[in-house]
Structure 1
């Protein structure tokens, strides 16, 4: 049994509660990893600007993976590796999301753009990433700098159909996957949370078998597959849980902290 040397956690639905709170239990759990000499970092569909508030309370010293791992930044939010959505794929994504009638957001490295400042999930995103959007009429001037495009809708079944059609239309040009039931993320091709796991393992000179991952959504499955130990949150759907080796409690019941205890027990047993 390989000893875990690095833990990589998803953010929303995993590290944070439903109201986007980082609990004291989560902070203490990250501290237990440091005391055990185990590295810790985070990866998320979030933009870089939406992850900076977690660095200090979690004492993160390693690079983090934004935009589903397609951007890797240091703890000061300086880019280490950054990929963009090809312009043609970005344009096709916007056209298709328009056709489905969902709200569209475009993120660059440091800015969030939307055409609808009163969109249903705009207040939710403002609270989550602690950044206000820039309102515009046309995405065209910014598609060449797109790190992520999001379709947001409370019609979950509609968004699921949109996801399937986007995957068909985009093929290998970009990645389309839901990070929440209400968010469909389009990110650069060839990059996902699994590639972030591999990149971090290379940087630390460890095997991916020595990495543990914690998550709750479809976009976390890629890192589950790449890591030696994977833990699904109790709030994850059964299909996601089936892709992980272990299941912890929900994000409303200190599931992240309990997952850390599972990892420490794993090392103790080895």
Structure 2
């Protein structure tokens, strides 16, 4: 069946290695997809509200934020699922046993960290989230929380995920964002689930979808789509589970890949597939 929806991760996938987006190229590709009746979805660990500001000029674009907990379009209201307050307290109690771990709690607009958070980590967070608030006690925060970011020494990343997975069972699911960082997401609320729910709403089936991803938080997204495409920098085990890997010599970005491999099929009413 022809492609009707393209979903892509943002950091490390749609954005270049410096975290920038080729605005002119994006506009050109977005316009061509709209004309062909293809829905574009950006699915990220970033807040949906932040992405909505970045993509304000594209009102028909769909945004999936906080690794699946949030859904919106740039000019519509946010739809989000949050952790129950008691669950937030339980998670913080479990994380307190790991003094080497730094915790950030993510709300719709604000990221909360302890006042003692070091400047280097603050700068890192401010690169991804525009409103970072320092508080005395995370447990005293009353805001709705959609996910947690936790940071640890890089060498401990996999071990920490291994230890936390059973301890947080039923409360949160730890996934690796990058080495030295884990996201704690709500069980069953990941990018793949969010895009699956959205596609049903739009009347689009999995065999009409193409997805691009770079990391563990993109795995369910790649698996749900008929054609899941991993970027060359994705971990080997992610690449092994994708249907295809972008060719670094010919397609240096998601936008270039869409231009060269997908749009020609749409213009000729052909079915695109890398399977």
TM class, shorter-chain normalised?
0.7 to 0.9
Structure 2 gaps, min length 5? none
Shift of 1:45: 1.2
**Residue 76 to residue 166, structure 1, CA distance change in 2 (3 Å):** farther
CA distance in 2, matches of 1:97, 1:225: 30
Number of residue pairs aligned between Structure 1 and Structure 2 = 263
More off after superposition, 218-227 vs 164-173: 164-173
Correspondence for 2:231 among 226, 230, 233:
233
Shift of 1:249: 4.6
Cα deviation, 1:60-82, whole Å, max 9, x if unaligned, reads 514321111112123236222x2
Partner of 2:207: 209
Q: Confirm whether residue 122 of structure 1 aligns to residue 125 of structure 2.
A: no
Partner of 1:178: 176
Partner of 1:219: 217
Partner of 2:154: 156
The 5 Å alignment of 1:1-270 reads 2-24=1-23, 25-56=25-56, 59-76=58-75, 78-80=77-79, 82-98=80-96, 99-115=98-114, 116-129=116-129, 131-142=130-141, 145-153=144-152, 155-249=153-247, 254-261=252-259, 262-265=261-264, 267=266, 268=268, 269-270=270-271
Q: Are the counterparts in 2 of residues 105 and 114 from structure 1 also a CA contact under 8 Å? A: yes
Q: Who wins on radius of gyration, i.e. which is larger?
A: 2
Cα deviation, 1:134-174, whole Å, max 9, x if unaligned, reads 11010112267211111023x22312211122211111322
Shift of 1:255: 1.8
Structure 1 gaps, min length 5? none
TM-score with structure 1 setting the length: 0.87
2:241 alignment partner, SS class: coil
Q: Which has the higher contact order (CA 8 A, sep 6+)?
A: 1
1:109 alignment partner, SS class: coil
**Residue 138 to residue 77, structure 1, CA distance change in 2 (3 Å):** farther
1:135 alignment partner, SS class: strand
**Residue 208 to residue 77, structure 1, CA distance change in 2 (3 Å):** same
CA distance in 2, matches of 1:63, 1:257: 17
CA distance in 2, matches of 1:19, 1:97: 32
**Residue 112 to residue 240, structure 1, CA distance change in 2 (3 Å):** same
CA distance in 2, matches of 1:128, 1:249: 28
RMSD between superposed Cα atoms in Å = 2.3
CA distance in 2, matches of 1:143, 1:243: 40
**Residue 94 to residue 77, structure 1, CA distance change in 2 (3 Å):** farther
CA distance in 1, matches of 2:157, 2:94: 11
CA distance in 1, matches of 2:135, 2:222: 38
TM-score with structure 2 setting the length: 0.86
